[in-house]
Amino acid sequence: MTLKPAVKVCRRISEVGREAWDACAANPAYAGNPFLRFDFLHALEDANCAVERTGWGPQHLVVEDEQGRVAAVMPLYLKSHSQGEYIFDHAWADAYERAGGRYYPKLLSAIPFTPVTGARLLVRPDVEPEEGWRYLTGGALALCEQYAASSVSVNFPTEAEWRWMGEQGLGRREGQQYHWENAGYATFEDFLGALSSGRRKTIRRERRDAQAAVEIEALTGADLKEEHWDAFFAFYMDTGSRKWGRPYLTRRFFSLLGERLADRVLLIMARRDGRWIAGALNLIGDDALFGRHWGCVDDVPFLHFELCYYQAIEWAIVHGLPRVEAGAQGQHKIARGYLPKPVYSTHYIADPALRGPVEDFLRRERASVEADIEWLAEEYSPFRKEA
């Protein structure tokens, strides 16, 4: 398959179109990641979440074949800040600004507000992957020069993309998250049986106390109603205010999510005395359940663990999913069966004066993160050694 050398820039994903985008995003190699789909990214733009006004100006890259068909795409944004990314470069920005440089704007390939690993260089199945990758990466670097941007970052790519981009000269960064893996469990009790006796007792007590205080419902597909989104949006806003965060997702986004991706949504809600008081939002992939947002307006002991971790594990076991990814950060997840796993990003810094120090930092950071993952898994794993 021969590709045209020119790379197009689309200021809205609607300019690419659902059929053309999903022809690349639906590549079987990406294992049905719902965040890559046109409908998810379009909902973020349609609901004014990932747009210029919020500092996420879409600059999606498109490569066509000789017949003019879309052959490869890359979600790309021109950023005026570093918020909502989950890969932190604030220290680089501060150092560069103090030295007289201008760190913003910068270019970022990522799924906005979503710390989930997935392909960022999306290539149609009948196109040779690395050919598409070369055009997309080259297009991003050319756009960086055209806009006089400070950098191009690619957050949470696959390991294969991360290694390939490193070979092309981009700086490689490594971080960690906490994932639960299904070792062929038939029931939640089977999972508990793989844990130490102390952890089994603790988890059973936490579940018993939380479940005694509330009614829990797991909602997906046609069961999702506007009343659920009204309640969940209140939880989401409350969580943002508690964490001094900036809630990017609008109320309209959740309605669009339920309208366009209902079959990929798992909303776990808790009710007390007839009133919704807490909820956890997950998206369903072909090979994982992805925990995304949580909120609670009443204080109920252990309810966070129940809705976000234990209900997710139980749902994954029942539906045969091999993995649960519970979002960014949180070493407390280890005690609940979520072990540390590496996640990746790559970074091109335009100014050599900043590039050198950043690449030196990344080399040292990678070694530290890899050692930390090994140590945490060895010292704090809740699993029995024989398990």
Distance (Å, whole) CA 235 – CA 238: 5
Assess whether 159 and 25 both reside in one domain.
yes
Assess whether 145 and 229 both reside in one domain.
no
24 is in which domain, residue-wise? 3-176+342-379
Assess whether 353 and 253 both reside in one domain.
no
Assess whether 229 and 347 both reside in one domain.
no
Residue 330 has pLDDT above 80, yes or no: yes
**How many domains in the chain?**
2
Q: What SS3 class is residue 282?
A: strand
Q: What SS3 class is residue 294?
A: strand
Residue 331 lies in a domain: no
Distance (Å, whole) CA 103 – CA 139: 20
Assess whether 165 and 195 both reside in one domain.
no
Residue 182 burial by Cβ neighbours in a 10 Å radius (0-12, 13-18, 19+): middle
Q: Is the preceding omega at residue 157 within 30 degrees of 0, hence cis?
A: no
Residue 205 lies in a domain: yes
Mean per-residue pLDDT of the chain: 95
Assess whether 85 and 25 both reside in one domain.
yes
**Closest to 60 (Cα-Cα) out of 102, 114, 24:** 24
Assess whether 351 and 214 both reside in one domain.
no
- Give 214's contacts (C-beta < 8 A, 6+ positions apart): 270, 271, 272, 277, 278, 300, 303
Which helix H or strand E contains 284, and what residues bound it?
strand 275-284
Residue 354 has pLDDT above 90, yes or no: yes
Pairing of strands 77-79, 275-284: unpaired
pLDDT value of residue 239: 77
**Closest to 46 (Cα-Cα) out of 303, 213, 254:** 254
Let me know: does 183 contact 141? Beta carbons within 8 Å.
no
- Give 57's contacts (C-beta < 8 A, 6+ positions apart): 11, 51, 77, 78, 79, 80
pLDDT value of residue 247: 84
Q: CB pairs under 8 A, 24+ apart, for 273-281?
A: 276/227, 276/228, 276/231, 276/232, 277/214, 278/214, 278/235, 278/303, 278/304, 278/307, 279/228, 279/231, 279/232, 279/235, 279/307, 280/307, 280/308, 280/311, 280/312, 281/232
Confidence of residue 96 (pLDDT cuts 50, 70, 90): very high
pLDDT value of residue 169: 97
Q: What is the mean pLDDT of residues 111-133?
A: 97
Q: What SS3 class is residue 342?
A: strand
Residue with tokens 């999606």: 60
Sign of dihedral through CA atoms 133, 137, 140, 142?
A: negative
Assess whether 164 and 27 both reside in one domain.
yes
Sign of dihedral through CA atoms 310, 312, 315, 320?
A: negative
Residue 386 lies in a domain: no
Residue 52 lies in a domain: yes
DSSP class per residue in 360-372: HHHHHHHHHHHHH
Give the CA count within 13 Å in the CB-facing half-sphere of 186.
Answer: 0
Q: To the nearest 10°, report the CA torsion of 314, 317, 318, 321.
A: 120
Residue 334 lies in a domain: no
pLDDT value of residue 294: 93
Residue 333 lies in a domain: no
Assess whether 313 and 292 both reside in one domain.
yes
Residue 326 lies in a domain: no
Residue 28 lies in a domain: yes
Q: What is the pLDDT of residues 206-264, one digit of tens each?
A: 999 999 999 999 999 999 999 999 999 999 998 766 655 678 999 999 999 999 999 99
Distance (Å, whole) CA 279 – CA 221: 16
Residue with tokens 């998250």: 177
Helices (H) and strands (E) in the chain — how many of each? 12, 15
- Domain CATH for 207: 3.40.630.30
Q: What is the reported pTM?
A: 0.96
Q: Which two tokens stand for residue 224?
A: 């999702």
Q: To the nearest 10°, report the CA torsion of 141, 143, 145, 151.
A: -60
Q: What SS3 class is residue 211?
A: helix
Assess whether 20 and 150 both reside in one domain.
yes
Assess whether 61 and 124 both reside in one domain.
yes
Residue 342 has pLDDT above 90, yes or no: yes
Let me know: does 12 contact 45? Beta carbons within 8 Å.
yes
Assess whether 231 and 204 both reside in one domain.
yes
DSSP class per residue in 98-142: HTT----SEEEES-TT------SSEE-TTS-HHHHHHHHHHHHHH
